[in-house]
Structure 1
Amino acid sequence: MTSHPAISHPALAAGRAAVITGGASGVGLAAARKFAAMGMRVCLADVNAEALERAAASIEGPAVVTVPTDVSDPASVDRLRDAAYAAFNEVAVLMNNAGTSPGGGPFDHPEGWRRVLNVNLFGVINGVQSFTQRMIDQHRPCAIINTGSKQGITCPPGDTAYNVSKAGVKVLTEGLAHALRNTPGCQVTAHLLVPGSTFTGMTRATSKPPGAWMPEQVIDFMLPALAAGDFYIICPDNDVSRAIDNRRIQWAADDIIRNRPALSRWHPDYRDAFAAFVAPLPPVP
Structure 2
Amino acid sequence: MHQALKTGGVAVVTGGASGIGLAAARHLIGLGLRVCIADLAGDGIEAARKVLIDDGAAAGEVMAVVADVGERAQLRALADQVAERFGPVNVLMNNAGMQPGSSIFDEEGTWDRILDVNMGGVIRSSQIFAPLMTAGGQPGLIVNTGSKQGITTPPGDPAYNVSKAGVRVFTEALQHALRNLPGCRVEARLFIPGFVFTPLTARGRTEKPAGAWTPEQTVEFLFRSLETDDFYILCPDNEVDRATDARRIIWAAGDIAENRPPLSRWHPDYAEAFRQWLREERS
- TM-score calculated relative to the size of structure 1: 0.94
Give the secondary-structure state (helix, strand or coil) at the position aligned to 2:200.
coil
CA deviation vs aligned residue, 1:1-34 (integer Å, no higher than 9, x gap):
xxxxxxx111111100100000000000000000
2:238 maps to a residue whose letter is: N
Q: Which amino acid aligns with 2:57?
A: G
d(CA) in 2 for partners of 1:110, 1:182: 42
Deviates more, 1:154-163 or 1:43-52: 43-52
Quick one: which amino acid aligns to residue 61 of structure 1? A
Indicate yes or no: 2:252 matched with 1:252: yes
Q: Report the equivalent of 2:279.
A: 279
Structure 1 residue 123: deviation in Å? 0.7
> Partners of 1:199 and 1:103 in 2: how far apart?
17
| Number of equivalent positions | 276
Task: Give the match for residue 176 of structure 1.
Answer: 174
> CA offset at residue 234 of structure 1?
0.4
> Match for 1:19: what amino acid?
V
Shift of 1:39: 0.8
1:92 corresponds, among 90, 93, 105, to 90
Identity value in percent: 53
What is residue 193 of structure 1 aligned with on the other side?
A: 191
Letter matched to residue 232 of structure 2: Y
The 4+ residue runs of structure 1 with deviation greater than 3 A are 280-283
Distance in 1 between residues matched to 2:117 and 2:137, nearest whole Å: 30
What letter matches 1:101 in structure 2? Q
User: C-alpha separation between the residues in 1 aligned to 2:84 and 2:219?
Assistant: 27
Q: Distance in 2 between matches of 1:109 and 1:212?
A: 30
Cα distance in 1 for partners of 2:178, 2:101 equals 31
Partner SS state of residue 44, structure 1: strand
RMSD between aligned alpha carbons? 1.2
Per chain length, whose mean CA-contact separation is higher, i.e. which structure has more relative contact order (CA < 8 Å, sep 6+)? 1
1:51 Cα deviation from its structure 2 partner: 0.8
Name the counterpart of 2:125: 127
Once the two structures are superposed, residues 73-107 of structure 1 have per-residue CA deviations (whole angstroms, 9 ceiling, x without a partner) of 00000011111111111100000000001241221
- Unmatched segments (≥5 aa) in structure 1: 1-7
Q: Report the TM-score when normalising by structure 2.
A: 0.95
2 CA distance for matches of 1:194 and 1:248? 14
